Structures are given as structure tokens and as C-alpha cells.
Amino acid sequence: MNNTAQLHQLNPHAIALCALGRWIASRHWVPATGGNFSIRSGEHSALVTASGKDKGELSPQDLLPVSWQDGSLTCTGTPSAETALHARLYQLDPQIKAVLHTHSVQATVFSRIISEDSYLFQGYEMQKAISGNTTHTAACPLALFDNTQHIPELADKLSQRWQQQPLHWGLLVRGHGLYVWGRSLDEAKRHLEGWEFLINCELERLKLTR
Ligand SMILES: [Zn+2]
């Protein structure tokens, strides 16, 4: 085992992220090695899941160190293809400590039936799972972006949107999946479960009312 792997074995946040990966996989939100997760490890660095790994079978050495400075990314090994989006989120908000990206059926389908670039959730008690929401009567927006295989382009679109208004703890990539983040791993997990619940409810409601 090399020094990096030994360091990760001892990192309690890395161990917690692997356990969270098993919980997320048990909900079928990361099929076929899809999705990716990361935790911040410093002001300009994070640990990001390696490409092509089953997210239900992660061990700490599957989390690869990534750092960024002046717009360029430095990676060890082959981290997820979507690493640039994780790095951009950490750069946009220094408070972000964890980013989770999933490919659930409901988020993927919902993202394809909404053509707007933002969708307002309203009337759900579970909106309070998303930080900053204290009542079901407020509108809780979820941003949508078109999918692309060119992740730096998506990261730039995210930055442009963020400068107008910081996003609300999550975003959907159309036909692709959900990104959530938090100021801790626990908060990111709560945002993931909250957004998945809200998306599922709205998908069911739209099926009945369209
Ligand atoms: Zn993805």
C-alpha cells in the first residue's frame, strides 16, 4: 500500500463516504457504476471517486486526490469524468464540503419532461429537508442544465448561473442525473434524500394531472 492509500485508510471522512455510497447504491440511485461522489480535503483540493467503480463497493483507496489552482485540475489516477463539475462547486462556495451525484430513474425521467432551466417545488413539507427552507409555502427552486459530454463547458454554465443567483443545494442535468452538495457529508446526504423525495412526488403528481 502506498502513502496516499494509507492516508485515505485513516481518513474518517473517506470511510464515511464509502459507507454512504453503500446506502445510496441500496436505493438504486447509482446503477452500473454511474454517479460520483467527493469530499473536500483542503481549500483547493478534494477526494473524488475513481472512474468506473461500483459506488456500492467503494473502499477509501477508490477516492482519488484532486486539486485545482487558477482554473487547472491536477489529478492522481483516473478520477470520475465529472470531476471538473465537483471542483467548480467547491470553488464557487468555500462552505461546500461534499458533493454527491446520482443517476436515479426518477431524477433522470423528471429532468427530461421539464423544459425550463429551473423548476419550482411548492407545497411540500419535505422542502424543509433542503437547507434554508422553513415552510412548505415557499417556492424551492431546482436548476436544470442540458447534458453534455464536455464537462468543463457544463462547469462554465454553472458558474454563469451561480453568478446571477447561487443554486439551491442541487441541480439536475437533463437525461442524466442529480447533483447535490452540503456543508457536511450529512447535509449533502439529507439534500440528496430530500431532492429525490421531492422529485419523486412531483413526478407522480404530474403523471396524475397531465
Ligand atoms: Zn453522471
Could you tell me the distance, in angstroms and rounded to a whole number, from the CA of residue 33 to the centre of ligand 1?
10
Could you tell me the distance, in angstroms and rounded to a whole number, from the CA of residue 153 to the centre of ligand 1?
15
Three-state DSSP string of the chain: CCHHHHHHHHCHHHHHHHHHHHHHHHCCCCHHHCCEEEEEEECCEEEEEECCCCCCCCCHHHEEEEEEECCEEEECCCECCCHHHHHHHHHHCCCCCEEEEECCHHHHHHHHHCCCCEEEECCCHHHHHCCCCCCCCCCEEEEEECCCCCHHHHHHHHHHHHHHCCCCCEEEECCCEEEEEECCHHHHHHHHHHHHHHHHHHHHHHHHHC
What is the per-residue pLDDT for 4?
Answer: 54
Could you tell me the distance, in angstroms and rounded to a whole number, from the CA of residue 81 to the centre of ligand 1?
8
Quick one: what percent of the chain has pLDDT higher than 70? 95
Per-residue pLDDT at 71 exceeds 80: no
Domain residue ranges in the chain: 3-209
pTM of the model: 0.93
Per-residue pLDDT at 5 exceeds 70: no
What is the per-residue pLDDT for 80?
Answer: 82
Minimum mean pLDDT among 5-14, 96-105, 120-129, 201-210: which range? 5-14
Per-residue pLDDT at 2 exceeds 80: no
Q: What is the pLDDT of residues 130-151, one digit of tens each?
A: 999 888 988 999 999 999 999 9
Could you tell me the fold of the domain covering 3-209? L-fuculose-1-phosphate Aldolase (3.40.225)
